[in-house]
Structure 1
Amino acid sequence: MSELEQQPELLLSLEALIFASDTPMSVARLQQALGNTYSSADIRQYLQQLAVLQHGRSIELVETAQGFRFQVRAKYQPIITQAWPERPTRLSPSLLEILAVIAYHQPVTRADIEQIRGVSNNSQVLRTLFDWNWIKESGFRELPGKPALLVTTPQFLNAFGLNSLDQLPPLQDAKEAFMALNVPALSA
């Protein structure tokens, strides 16, 4: 088979692998699944072609910090919400504020979060963020009591469809942007 004849089959294989995975697929994982026959540059090129093939469809191929996944286009979220009302998770304003403080100011301590927000933290909100694996401890600040430093995780980026923290909206628009985000069903 020539390279040209293999391409449609390779695109279908990539599509099947990403669709069947319950987590985003990294380029390295896709390479491995395809027997390490293709370079990472080749895989990325084919993924771009696969993304183009989704044009005009209800789903799109997106890259997040954890890899590539298919998701329903935002345009179709209302019908999905109507069909499965229990699926979407509404994030409370306090959860969004705490998450935004961590995302924009990381690494931060719990005391830093309280100082920035001007109110006490709800420990249940922080526990929820830990349970969803959206935040984690990453070292300790050299202060009495050695408070833990909190940072976001790749799962946080994945949940919001971001590839890196650089894709966060400008800080002055953060609260409105986080409030407007419609987070897909949580995989955590």
Structure 2
Amino acid sequence: MTELDPLFVERCIEALLFAAAEPLSDVDLAKRLPEGADIAAGIDALRVRYEGRGVELACVAGRWRFQTAADLSFLMTEEREEPRRLSKAAQETLAIVAYHQPVTRAEIEAVRGVQASRGTIDVLLELGLIRMRGRRRTPGRPVTFGTTDAFMEHYGLATLADLPGIAEMKAAGLLEMNLPPGFTVPDPLGLRAGEEEDPLDFDDGETPEFAQDFLGEPEKA
């Protein structure tokens, strides 16, 4: 087999990432590139080539994309009316899921100290920031929730280990705010490292019995 020109592979990856509507993984790239293409070398070469430029190559949730350099983000800023903002309850719930996943509704309520509104969970599910990960193998088989790749992309996180730790949150003054009772900030590096996800234990075509928990009732003020 003729060895592929590294520059050719690099240019192919560059073209694919430039034209892609969403970040691409190594597997996605391999499906498009000729057999034998050294994707890792091509990615490394592109990262070096774009270092310090207006556009940089970044890894988000295990996928690659081109994005505006952080120090030039002010050029892309515009004032506009946000069609939808997360309520304080939704922000607290999302933070609890992010730091304690996989987590059940009951555990979210225990941390916040108040009952979780159906509307709050619905909003986060609808926005794609959280997802149902499966059932916990405990009495009642409660459903667990975790964050999604969309959550990682929105907040620019490569892995959950990039979530701010206690020191960073204190430096930003966030831990001086009134946090929900029972809320703790675990070490991001210890977040379920290497732990397998709870399996989605549903039969094909079965309507999960907990579906009625997510009917979208409006959240009470």
TM range (shorter): 0.7 to 0.9
Task: State the shift of 1:8 in Å.
Answer: 2.7
Q: Give the one of 110, 118, 121 matched to 1:115.
A: 110
Question: Does the CA-based 8 Å contact 1:81-1:87 persist in structure 2?
Answer: no
**Aligned amino acid, residue 94 of structure 2:** L
SS in 2 for 1:60: strand
Counterpart for residue 162 of structure 1:
157
Counterpart for residue 204 of structure 2:
none
Query: For residues 9 and 91 of structure 1, what CA distance do their matches in structure 2 show?
Result: 45
1:43 aligns with 2:39: yes
Counterpart for residue 60 of structure 1:
56
SS in 1 for 2:134: strand
**Aligned amino acid, residue 111 of structure 2:** I
Q: Deviations over 1:96-133 (max 9, x none)?
A: 32111101111111221122123343433322221222
Q: Give the one of 78, 81, 99 matched to 2:77.
A: 81
Query: For residues 130 and 177 of structure 1, what CA distance do their matches in structure 2 show?
Result: 29
Q: Percent same amino acid at aligned positions?
A: 36
Counterpart for residue 197 of structure 2:
none
Question: Does the CA-based 8 Å contact 1:66-1:155 persist in structure 2?
Answer: no
Question: Does the CA-based 8 Å contact 1:60-1:73 persist in structure 2?
Answer: yes
Counterpart for residue 145 of structure 2:
150
Structure 1 residues 92 and 49, CA gap change in structure 2 (3 angstroms): farther
Task: State the shift of 1:73 in Å.
Answer: 2.0
Structure 1 residues 174 and 152, CA gap change in structure 2 (3 angstroms): farther
Listed as ranges, the gaps of 5+ residues in structure 2 are: 175-221
1:102 aligns with 2:101: no
Query: For residues 120 and 173 of structure 1, what CA distance do their matches in structure 2 show?
Result: 29
Q: Deviations over 1:7-39 (max 9, x none)?
A: 33322211110111111111111112012232x
Query: For residues 56 and 92 of structure 2, what CA distance do their matches in structure 1 show?
Result: 29
Question: Does the CA-based 8 Å contact 2:9-2:39 persist in structure 1?
Answer: no
Listed as ranges, the gaps of 5+ residues in structure 1 are: 179-188
Query: For residues 54 and 83 of structure 2, what CA distance do their matches in structure 1 show?
Result: 18
Task: State the shift of 1:87 in Å.
Answer: 7.9
Structure 1 residues 122 and 149, CA gap change in structure 2 (3 angstroms): same
**Aligned amino acid, residue 33 of structure 2:** L
Query: For residues 177 and 46 of structure 1, what CA distance do their matches in structure 2 show?
Result: 41
Question: Does the CA-based 8 Å contact 1:66-1:158 persist in structure 2?
Answer: no
Query: For residues 173 and 18 of structure 2, what CA distance do their matches in structure 1 show?
Result: 29
Query: For residues 170 and 8 of structure 1, what CA distance do their matches in structure 2 show?
Result: 40
Q: How many residue pairs were aligned? A: 171
Query: For residues 27 and 86 of structure 1, what CA distance do their matches in structure 2 show?
Result: 37
Q: Relative to total residues, which structure has the larger helix share, 1 or 2?
A: 1
Query: For residues 100 and 122 of structure 1, what CA distance do their matches in structure 2 show?
Result: 15
SS in 1 for 2:145: strand
Query: For residues 32 and 149 of structure 1, what CA distance do their matches in structure 2 show?
Result: 33
Query: For residues 177 and 47 of structure 1, what CA distance do their matches in structure 2 show?
Result: 37
Question: Does the CA-based 8 Å contact 1:139-1:149 persist in structure 2?
Answer: yes
Query: For residues 88 and 52 of structure 1, what CA distance do their matches in structure 2 show?
Result: 38
Normalising by structure 2, we get a TM-score of: 0.65
